[in-house]
Amino acid sequence: MDDGTVTGDLSPIEVRVLGCLVEKEATTPASYPLTLNALRNACNQTSSRDPVMDVTEQEVQSALLSLRDRRLARPVRNPGDRVTKFRHAVPDELELDDAQTAVLSVLALRGAQTPGELRTRTGRQHDFATVEEVGDVLAGLSTRSPALARELARGPGQKESRWLHLLGDHPGEDGDEATPAAASASAPTGGSTMAATWVAGAEAVVAAIADPAVGAAWDQLSVLEGQTVASLAGHLARGAVWLVGEYLDDELDDELDDDLDQSGGPPDFTSAAHYVADLADSLTDDDHRAIRDRGAAVAAVGHDHLVRTARARLDALATRVPTVEPDRVIAAYAGLSIRFDDYLATRIVEQAVHLDDLDRSVAGLDVDVPDEVVAVATTVGLDVLRRRHGSMAGLRVLYRATFAADCLPVF
């Protein structure tokens, strides 16, 4: 291996770009090599990323130029291509096998992790039979010259040691005292974990709606202006549970998905934060009335019937949703497209926010919103806040109460 290829000084964006190229080659081979726009979308995913980033096209281009100089990535323009695409050269330049490449890419995309976490998260790139096999790969990466991975000191209460890549900087990490990825707000957004989080939130929704206290307060007004508890329950059941099934039934087919990638990626692609912010900003008084009326129509069947319907639909979706590829493209609204995991994140926001509304609306109701649901909703909400009010807004809202009053709520 040429020791000049990697010096451990890659920038966070360069590490993210390289990790995405490796990941997408294995998980979406039909659309690999990646266009610039598709690569930017991959870098900005809210799923399987820690930390979540918001990089610009110019930043991705700059990172690609640096990686090209290091011979780790290169542009590709085949006959018939309408745009330039990009591929990585990690195995060749770093002399890695498939197992080592998979582990290094997941470390690059998700920060410090245990061997057990790595075994789960590399499943779409390489099938490790045991955790010990992952440990052997990590040991090999750590003894190379230069080393490509390092074991962190085990923190208080940690049963397993975590490992860190040595490609470059680690945003949010601080040497041996790095915060575990699983403890960060973005941790629940990884691969099938997003689906599991949505299922957990949907279970909480059905449990809350089924509570007898909700049925007893059915015709009372909720904390939302002009909306009854029944209407809120109907809106929650539809928007947070079975709407996912309706969107899946209307998903874009593979041929359209390929066409979008080949044309440089869809220019009208939306993220979870954009989806939530655009939807909230566009709602008029008439739209809010329509939402209340639709919720009331859904709940018009009565409390018991709504609970049975929500339960039956969730039972079907709980097995279907985890089988959907996180990067599957589905139709969003107004001609926009969205990755499935990003769409699930918008539904998780709906779960968290309106479960809280229901909890505050019904006396004697004790809603248990799963921690992972709150974490995803918080991550998306802070992203919306930054987009609306600037990069320091999240910090000020968290630590300066007087500033929080100036930031309009998303919902």
pLDDT along the chain (411 residues), means of 10: 59 95 93 93 89 90 90 87 90 95 96 92 92 95 92 75 88 43 34 82 94 95 94 94 85 44 50 81 82 93 94 92 86 75 93 95 91 90 77 71 56 46
pLDDT at 169: 73
- Transcribe 218-256 into DSSP letters: TTSB-SSTT-BHHHHHHHHHIIIIIHHHHHHHTPPPHHH
- Transcribe 74-91 into DSSP letters: EEE--TT-SS-EEEE-HH
> What domains lie within the chain, and their CATH numbers?
1-182 (1.10.10.10), 188-404 (1.20.120.450)
* Residue 173: both structure tokens together: 């990490």
284-290 contact pairs (CB < 8 A, 24+): 289/226
Whether residue 70 contacts residue 6, with contact meaning beta carbons closer than 8 Å, is answered with yes
- CB count within 10 Å of CB 180 equals 19
pLDDT at 154: 76
pLDDT at 5: 55
The DSSP call for residue 170 is -
